[in-house]
Amino acid sequence: MASTANPFSISLSSKPTATSSLRKINHSSDSFLRVQNPPNSVSLRSSFISPSSIELNLNRVGNSISSASRVKSRICASSAQVMDQSVTKSDPTAPTIVDVNLGNRSYPIYIGPGLLDQPHLLQKHVHGKRVLVVTNDKVGPLYLDKVVEALTKGNPNVSVESVILPDGEKYKDMDTLMKVFDKAIESRLDRRCTFVALGGGVIGDMCGYAAASYLRGINFIQIPTTVMAQVDSSVGGKTGINHHLGKNLIGAFYQPQCVLIDTDTLNTLPDRELASGLAEVIKYGLIRDAEFFEWQEKNIQALMARDPNALAYAIKRSCENKAEVVSLDEKESGLRATLNLGHTFGHAIETGFGYGQWLHGEAVAVGMVMAVDMSYRLGWIDDSIVKRVHNILQQAKLPTFPPEIMTVEMFKSVMAVDKKVADGLLRLILLKGPLGNCVFTGDYDRKALDETLRAFVKP
Listed residue (272, 336, 284) closest to 313, CA to CA: 284
Contact flag: residue 343 with its own copies (CB under 8 A): no
Question: C-alpha 319: how far from its chain's center?
Answer: 8
Near its own copies by CB under 8 A: residue from 204, 246, 256, 367: 246
Near its own copies by CB under 8 A: residue from 92, 103, 156, 424: 424
Instruction: Please identify, among the stretches 232-240, 264-272, 354-362, 370-378, the one whose residues bind its own copies according to the rule CB under 8 A.
Output: 232-240
Near its own copies by CB under 8 A: residue from 249, 302, 304, 408: 249
Amino acid at 141: P
Q: Does the N-terminal peptide bond of residue 39 adopt cis geometry, omega within 30 degrees of 0?
A: yes
Catalytic residue, from 37, 101, 242, 340: name it: 340
243 is catalytic: no
Instruction: Please identify, among the stretches 33-41, 49-57, 93-101, 421-429, the one whose residues bind its own copies according to the rule CB under 8 A.
Output: 421-429
For residue 96, the number of C-alpha atoms closer than 13 Å in the C-beta half-sphere is 21
Q: Give the DSSP letter of residue 233.
A: I
Q: Which is nearer to its own copies, 252 or 304 (CB)?
A: 252
340 is catalytic: yes
Q: CA-to-CA distance for 295 and 238, rounded, in angstroms?
A: 28
Contact flag: residue 212 with its own copies (CB under 8 A): yes
Query: What is the pairing mode between strands 428-431 and 130-136?
Result: unpaired
Q: Which is nearer to its own copies, 71 or 252 (CB)?
A: 252
- For residue 428, list its beta bridge partners: 441
343 is catalytic: yes
Our CA angle for 312, 267, 356, nearest 5°, is: 100
125 is catalytic: no
57 is catalytic: no
Instruction: Please identify, among the stretches 96-104, 109-117, 212-220, 444-452, the one whose residues bind its own copies according to the rule CB under 8 A.
Output: 212-220
Question: 144: buried, middle or exposed (CB in 10 Å: 19+, 13-18, 0-12)?
Answer: middle
Q: Which is nearer to its own copies, 344 or 437 (CB)?
A: 344
Contact flag: residue 158 with its own copies (CB under 8 A): no
Close Cβ partners of 337 (under 8 Å, ≥ 6 residues apart):
420, 427, 429, 440
Asked if 359 and 270 count as a contact pair (C-beta separation under 8 A), the reply is no
Q: Is residue 250 within a helix (H) or strand (E), and if so which, with residue range?
A: strand 246-253
Per-residue mark of binding to its own copies, 252-291 (x: CB under 8 A): xx--------------------------------------
Count of other CB atoms within 10 angstroms of residue 161: 18
Contact flag: residue 156 with its own copies (CB under 8 A): no
322 is catalytic: yes
Q: Which is nearer to its own copies, 149 or 190 (CB)?
A: 190
Provide the annotated active-site residues: 216, 238, 280, 322, 332, 336, 340, 343, 347, 360
* Residues that bind its own copies in the complex, under the rule CB under 8 A: 128-130, 174, 178, 181-182, 185-186, 188, 190-192, 209, 212-217, 238-240, 243, 245-246, 248-253, 331, 416-417, 419-424
